[in-house]
């Protein structure tokens, strides 16, 4: 008899921990969307981005000061890549927060779920990956899911819908550039340059009408900043512990949950077309994941 756990038991424990971390990411994303909507009642999107980056600088620098190597860990030889990554990320963040303030939250999340498909399609342009027929097919399927969600010609395409699509593409390019940076840069270093570079990008357009947030809005700003950091940290831990095919269904729960929350808080109507389009996008993501696993095996 041995005290060591069997491989199957260890795998099960890792999966349970992965699910727990993904649940943390799930609720962080939900809270971030609600906080973004609440902030939009007082601040415009550029102002939100500025104050969020300001708080992120304070948080990341504080963490840097109390961790090993202090502020020296933020030294980099890849500043141009950080700038390119954060220009894309800023476009994505701006589009996402603009959409959160403008259209039903479930629609924002459904469109956001296409990001892995666009990454698979565009990765050969930035990363050393091949463009396969499956990647093309899943991207087309994801685009069809978006068409079901937004229904052009049946429902008027709003600025918020366009912003959500732009956000998905901005995040797509930011993710690919992050993958390249991650080969040499620490996660905290990437977050540091995200906050520092995006700080003036949010400030400059806000100078003409910059207002000091109320105490309540400061609370929402702290929430949106902390939830943004925790969401990505929890997701990274979840993917390190459990297979992506197990994690993806949990992440997809964001769609029905945010739809119910938005109905209760903001009176948004539950739209069956959003759920149908979201389901098509989910199936496309599963198809792509399975194909990538077969390629890697």
Lookup result for tokens 């304070």: 58
SS3 178: helix
Residues lower than pLDDT 70 in the chain: 1-9, 244-245, 295-297
Residue of 159, 155, 149 whose CA lies nearest to 255: 149
Q: How far apart are CA 240 and CA 217, in angstroms?
A: 35
In a domain, 175, yes or no: yes
Residue 179: give the domain boundaries.
15-296
**Token output for 142:** 């994801």
Return the pLDDT at 1.
46
Contact 14, 58 (CB under 8 A): no
In a domain, 274, yes or no: yes
- Residue range 218-256, pLDDT digits in tens: 999 999 999 988 888 888 788 778 776 677 778 888 899
- Residue range 156-205, pLDDT digits in tens: 789 999 999 999 999 999 988 988 888 888 888 988 999 999 999 999 99
Distance of alpha carbon 1 from the chain centroid = 46
Q: How far apart are CA 294 and CA 297, in angstroms?
A: 5
Domain count within the chain: 1
Element (H, E) at 122: helix 115-126
Return the pLDDT at 92.
96
Q: Which residues contact 294 (CB under 8 A, 6 or more apart)?
A: none
Q: How far apart are CA 83 and CA 105, in angstroms?
A: 29
Q: Which residues contact 176 (CB under 8 A, 6 or more apart)?
A: 119, 122, 123, 126, 127
In a domain, 3, yes or no: no
DSSP-derived letter for residue 158 is P
In a domain, 10, yes or no: no
In a domain, 1, yes or no: no
Name the CA dihedral angle for 123, 127, 131, 134, rounded to a multiple of 10 degrees.
-60
**Token output for 231:** 């969401």
Helices (H), 127-214: 133-150, 159-181, 187-203
Residue of 110, 108, 132 whose CA lies nearest to 120: 132
In a domain, 6, yes or no: no
Identify the bridge partners of residue 155 per DSSP, sorted by sequence position: 152
DSSP-derived letter for residue 130 is -
Contact 157, 99 (CB under 8 A): no
Return the pLDDT at 245.
67
In a domain, 9, yes or no: no
In a domain, 245, yes or no: yes
Contact 202, 52 (CB under 8 A): yes
Element (H, E) at 246: helix 244-252
Residue of 247, 123, 120 whose CA lies nearest to 180: 123
Contact 59, 251 (CB under 8 A): no
Count Cβ atoms below 10 Å from residue 216 Cβ, excluding itself. 12
Q: How many CA atoms lie within 13 Å of 160's alpha carbon, on the beta-carbon side? A: 17
Count Cβ atoms below 10 Å from residue 245 Cβ, excluding itself. 12
């Amino acid at each position: 008899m041995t005290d060591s756990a069997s491989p199957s038991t260890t795998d099960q424990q890792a999966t349970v921990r992965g699910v727990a971390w993904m649940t943390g990411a799930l609720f962080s994303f939900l809270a971030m969307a609600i906080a973004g909507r609440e902030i939009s009642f007082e601040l415009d999107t550029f102002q939100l981005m500025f104050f969020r980056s300001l708080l992120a600088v304070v948080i990341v620098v504080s963490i840097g000061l109390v961790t090993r190597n202090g502020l020296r860990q933020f030294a980099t030889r890849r500043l141009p890549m950080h700038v390119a990554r954060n220009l894309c990320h800023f476009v994505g963040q701006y589009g996402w927060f603009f959409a959160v303030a403008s259209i039903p939250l479930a629609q924002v999340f459904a469109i956001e779920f296409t990001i892995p498909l666009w990454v698979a399609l565009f990765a050969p342009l930035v990363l050393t990956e091949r463009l396969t027929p499956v990647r093309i097919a899943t991207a087309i399927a994801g685009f069809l899911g978006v068409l079901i969600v937004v229904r052009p010609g049946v429902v008027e395409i709003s600025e918020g819908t366009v912003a959500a699509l732009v956000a998905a593409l901005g995040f797509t390019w930011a993710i690919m550039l992050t993958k390249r940076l991650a080969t040499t840069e620490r996660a905290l270093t990437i977050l540091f340059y995200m906050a520092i570079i995006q700080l003036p990008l949010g400030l400059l357009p806000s100078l003409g009408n910059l207002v000091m947030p109320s105490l309540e809005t400061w609370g929402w700003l702290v929430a949106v900043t902390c939830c943004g950091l925790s969401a990505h940290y929890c997701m990274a831990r979840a993917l390190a512990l459990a297979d992506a095919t197990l994690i993806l269904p949990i992440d997809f729960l964001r769609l029905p949950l945010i739809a119910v929350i938005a109905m209760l808080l903001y009176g948004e109507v539950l739209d069956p077309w959003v759920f149908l389009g979201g389901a098509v996008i989910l199936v496309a993501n599963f198809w792509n994941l399975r194909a990538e696993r077969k390629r890697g095996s």
